[in-house]
Homo-oligomer: A and B are copies of this chain.
């Protein structure tokens, strides 16, 4: 396991070479719709083979997505690196590593209008939008099928286990909805074969009941789920929402964007208090009447805040001060 040893060993076996792909989850929010950039028939995330001349992963992705969308990317973050391609047909003899990224931008139509398009991510995950209460698909479709799946386990213990997992993931039995469990929910549905992608292996090749949500190529929907989960978590402790906003905005517009991402409604007065006390925004002095009733103050993001207090803080009960 010495560095020299491994280097020497590698030279002999070309078989261990791999392909590397970059896959991007590019997100924008337009009037209440959290949108994701897709290609093809809106069933694939944009991806690009990793080129040798990329100076780094991050910069390579940035340049490429900016060229694709004609829009500067505000924020990029690495999501996850996938290599277990068990779920895809193993027709490809060479191993592929997918390095996935989350990128935030504002929606703009791409130059090459032929290919890329924006679509609400709730088209792919209709069970994730709880802004108007629990969506019907959860109670009418998923719940009965998940109960059925749980009953299908051979042993009593396994049945209980499945039921508990479903209840936690979807908030059954008054456990409450947790909007961050996007990936857990997707994987649970996959395991229960309630997701179209799960049927591709050929095991469940028969004619099945229609499955909820628009499917995607390969494991792209899983990657999208990872991105949504990450973003829903991140907006709570980092001011990344502003990357999705226009330069000036009203507090309600900001709130609507957060709600679109979280898939839940938030309490208006408390949301305002939260934003103001964190000093994340400053008034522009202008107001807008385009919102309907009383004119709303316009705000802009205080970019200085990024330098000042880099991180929210602690949850450890530190000693002395």
Contacts and interface: CB of A to CB of B under 8 A. Distances in A.
Given A99-B81, A178-B311, A317-B271, A56 B217 contact: no
A175 to B, nearest CB: 9
Given A20-B97, A97-B20, A264-B318, A81 B81 contact: yes
A178 to B, nearest CB: 6
A19 B19 contact: no
Contact of A47 (B6, B18, B57, B78): B6
B3 A218 contact: yes
Interface in A34-89: 39-40, 44, 46-52, 54-59, 68, 78, 80-84, 86
Contacts of A236: 314-316
Contact of A56 (B44, B47, B52, B86): B86
Interface of A: 1-3, 6, 9-10, 15-21, 39-40, 44, 46-52, 54-59, 68, 78, 80-84, 86, 95, 97, 99, 115-116, 164, 168, 178, 180-181, 184, 217-218, 235-237, 258, 262, 264-268, 270-271, 273-274, 307-308, 310-311, 313-320
